[in-house]
Structure 1
Amino acid sequence: MQLFTGFLMLGLISFGGALPHARRVLVEERRWLTPDEFVELLGLCQFLPGGNIINLSVALGMRFRGIGGALAALLGLIACPSLIVVLLGVFYERTQDNPYVRHLFTGLAAAAAGLLVAMAIKIVLPLRRKPAAIAIVLLGFVAIALLRWPLLPTMLVLTPISMFLAWRSAR
């Protein structure tokens, strides 16, 4: 029940920008994960197909309560946003020609972008004492953002390198 209600509130509060709030709720408020565990689990969830926050809810639910926990966390996460999307779709369909509505949606997009930048900063902070991790992050950024290489080949190269470096540092 805690997984369901925790992710239900997360889905309701953070509609459109769940990842920044997820870190705050899961690490700082509920203390279900440490900052390092969050970064590691998020890294795995980003590599898996599907939405990062969806994968994160399923992974965390599985960790604590198995399949039932995964379902509870997932259903909690998607219940409110699904209803909100349907209601916004109906609203937008009826008011899409209104310039105020266009400005509203533009503002929402800007707020989501700001939340994404804030979350990226929080995720990078635990890595600041890990030079190998910083190198992988920088290589990924250069490859994808600057050189415009495709995500999948970049991940297929960087993931084994990252795993090797993590294994070496753990020894």
Structure 2
Amino acid sequence: MSLPAPDAPELAQAPGAPQGPASLWVLYLAFNRLALQGFGGVLAVAQRELVERLGWLSREEFVETLAIAQVLPGPNVVNLSLMIGDRYFGLRGAFAALAGMFVLPSLLVLSMAALYGSVAQHPVVGNALRGMGAVSAGLILATGLKLLPAVHRNSMGPVLAAVLAVATVVAVVWLRVPLPWLVLMLGGLGMAAAWHGLAQTAERA
């Protein structure tokens, strides 16, 4: 008597690999929690929630998925939610993650926008917003520093990745290169370098 074959997801799940959400409801609640914490920018919270707390993505997977989300049209974290939802539950997962990002947070933001109109001229409100802007910048910087170790395992290698990062900063801050040209030039160069690195790795294997 032959034993029944294990399910495909169990075969694909390697030991120590990131575990995905157990259900659509869990996926919805996770992105709802993420969005509610992310006033002023969700990126820093997304890395902490999806990689560190939930363990749905490894650090390298998060960096790679975020890179694709940055290139696609639209807000990067919205694109990220769609890709992660689709990865685990297909189209239903994409809609569940998107609903978590937008439904309740949108109601809160609209309510706060209406409230802000009545207190916008108060000096305390202006100072509070400036303080929150500094905190948001610090969170994004801290997230970038946390993700730096993932660069060492990138197919391009840390040196070329650092060169592209510096070139991007120079092009944006000092040269004022428009975003479409920046994506085409440095983005295209990065993709070509990654493709070459992957080909070399495959040859060695």
Q: TM-score range by the shorter chain?
A: over 0.9
Preserved CA contact (<8 Å) 1:128 1:134: no
Which residue of the other structure, out of 107, 120, 123, is the alignment partner of 2:144?
Answer: 120
2:129 corresponds in structure 1 to: 105
Check if 1:140 corresponds to 2:164.
no
Distance between the aligned counterparts of 1:49 and 1:104, measured in 2? 31
* 1:5-32 residue CA offsets vs partner (Å, 9 max, x unmatched): 1101111122222111101111111111
> Paired residues, what number?
171
TM-score normalised by L of structure 2 = 0.78
Deviation for aligned residue 1:33: 1.0
- What's the TM-score, normalizing by structure 1? 0.92
Q: How far did 1:39 drift?
A: 0.7
Matched, 1:74 2:102: no
Q: Are the aligned partners of 1:11 and 1:79 in contact in 2 as well (CA < 8 Å)?
A: no
Mapped partners of 1:162, 1:55: distance in 2:
20
Q: Name the amino acid aligned to 2:190.
A: S
| One-letter amino acid matched to 1:166 | A
Work out the CA distance in 2 between the residues paired with 1:153 and 1:169.
24
Greater RCO (CA < 8 Å, at least 6 residues apart): 1
The runs of 5 or more residues in structure 2 that have no matched partner are 1-24, 200-205
Give the number of the structure whose alpha-carbon radius of gyration is greater: 2
Matched, 1:5 2:37: no
Any runs of at least 4 consecutive aligned residues in structure 1 with deviations exceeding 4 A, and if so which? none
Structure 1 distance, partners of 2:148, 2:72, is 20
Q: Which amino acid aligns with 1:138?
A: V
Question: Identical aligned pairs, as a percentage?
Answer: 37
Query: Which of the residues 87, 96, 99 maps onto 1:63?
Result: 87
1:15–1:81: 8 Å Cα contact kept in structure 2?
A: no
* 1:91 counterpart = 2:115: yes
Aligned residue number for residue 5 of structure 2: none
Q: Tell me which amino acid in the other structure corresponds to 2:90.
A: G
CA contact (8 A) 2:32 2:105 kept: no
Give the conservation status (yes or no) of the 8 Å contact 1:7–1:57: yes
Q: Secondary structure at the match of 1:109?
A: helix
- Matched residues in 1 for 2:121 and 2:41: separation? 26
Matched, 1:149 2:173: no
The structure where helix makes up a greater share of residues is 1
Provide closer, same or farther for how the CA distance between residues 110 and 80 of structure 1 changes in structure 2, counting only shifts above 3 A: farther
Question: CA–CA distance in 2 between the matches of 1:161 and 1:69?
Answer: 33
Please, what is the CA RMSD of the aligned residues? Answer: 1.5
